[in-house]
Amino acid sequence: MPRPIQARIDLSALERNLQVARRAGSARIMAVIKANAYGHGLLRAAEALNAAEGFALLDIRDAICLRDAGFSQTILLLEGFFTPDDLPLVAEYDLACVIHNQQQIDMLEAYPSRGSLEVWFKVGSGMNRLGFAPDKVPAALERLKAHPAVRDITLMTHFAHADEATGVAAQLDVFNTLAPYRMARSLANSAALLRYPATHADWVRPGIMLYGASPFAEVSAQQLGLQPVMTLQSRIIAVQELRAGENIGYGGLFRTEAPTRVGVVACGYADGYPRHAPTGTPVLVEGQRTRILGRISMDMLSVDLSTLPAADVGSHVTLWGEGLPVEQVAHAAGTISYELLCALAERVPIVTV
């Protein structure tokens, strides 16, 4: 029998979360499926999100894999191409490319093709990561417009604070200085899509909300009408009956103050569970909420069964997902849901429902 851990992927939840994005406005949807669809599996996620008008990802091999699987939507490379060698493949597979620096335009100009390339021109509106500073936009756009292979240009930017109180106003003001350019536009990630209709424009680019997690610290996924897609499940494989004053796990980080029943769960950091999750991180045993005790090991973690006398070897454990929002586990571990979902290890078997 295989180890009892598995990640259950609810494909209908993906479809329903896409509908939540759809209901928020009339923009076309560029579903962000980078990082193996935030850990959910590239092709299975794309199939469930097939109603989206486009898919955004990073790796050209993933883009080719989508085309080979028959997806005819716009496929956007979010970091564009990296070397001139990528360009024949970009053309062959009709991939849209983010252009975010001068070097990419240089490569494009040196490329002999007269093919047709869809460009998403990235404007740096304040995040200072990728994109042309506003004063560099006119010259760069002129070069692109003059290129015989460029058939279509969409202006895009990305927000640094759409999920926080700071909001999008300052970046939106910068981006809106480009209003005289009559081109399609794309600005919104999940947080902007849900909170700022003024950012919807022609294309929205939701990621995390499609996977059923809230982009906001203070609003739950449930309040947003989102359903968890990934549920990480395992079972208890051993029970320890400890006296007061005994240590648990590596480093003895947790010391019992009273007699304590401890369940050992087949899930560790090599499965993608965060090693830095502290004592107190929530976990479900047979649907009942309890807590992690002590340090997370490579293959196991310990949970408090003191209030769960019926729990025993074989009891079902939910690490996150249905009944336990991944955001809550991430918050306890000092990180964000994105990191936990993306970190799901390859060794964890996936079952789809």
Ligand X SMILES: Cc1ncc(COP(=O)(O)O)c(C=O)c1O
Q: What is the largest CA-CA distance in the chain?
A: 77
Q: What is the dihedral of CA 333, 335, 338, 342, to 10 degrees?
A: -60
Residue 158: helix, strand or coil by DSSP?
Answer: coil
Measured over the CA atoms of residue 268, residue 272, residue 278 and residue 281, the dihedral's sign is: negative
DSSP alpha helix (H) spans, 250-350: 326-332, 337-342
Q: Which is nearer to ligand X, 124 or 268 (CB)?
A: 124
Q: Which is nearer to ligand X, 260 or 337 (CB)?
A: 337
Residue of 158, 185, 200, 235 that binds ligand X (CB under 6 A) = 158
189 binds ligand X (CB under 6 A): yes
Of 280-339, which residues contact ligand X (CB under 6 A)? none
Q: Which is nearer to ligand X, 77 or 284 (CB)?
A: 77
207 binds ligand X (CB under 6 A): yes
Q: Which is nearer to ligand X, 59 or 246 (CB)?
A: 59
Separation between Cα atoms, residue 267 and residue 299, nearest integer Å? 5
Catalytic residue numbers, as ranges = 34, 250
80 binds ligand X (CB under 6 A): no
The residue sitting closest to ligand X, measured at its beta carbon, is 207
185 binds ligand X (CB under 6 A): no
Select the span of 11-19, 137-145, 189-197, 284-292 touching ligand X (CB under 6 A): 189-197
Draw the binding track, 265-284, toward ligand X (x: CB under 6 A; -: no contact): --------------------
Burial of 298 (0-12, 13-18, 19+ CB in 10 A): exposed
Phi-psi region of 193 (alpha: psi -120 to 50; beta: other; left: phi over 0): alpha
> Which residue has tokens 């790796």?
59
β-pair partners for 247: 255
Of 208-227, which residues contact ligand X (CB under 6 A)? 208, 215
Q: Which is nearer to ligand X, 75 or 237 (CB)?
A: 75
Q: Which of 116, 120, 48 is nearest to 77 (CA)?
A: 120
Report, in Å, the least distance between residue 189 CB and ligand X: 3
Of 37-56, which residues contact ligand X (CB under 6 A)? none
Report, in Å, the least distance between residue 123 CB and ligand X: 12
**Both tokens of residue 258?**
């009273």
The footprint of ligand X (CB under 6 A) covers 32, 78, 158, 189-191, 205-208, 215
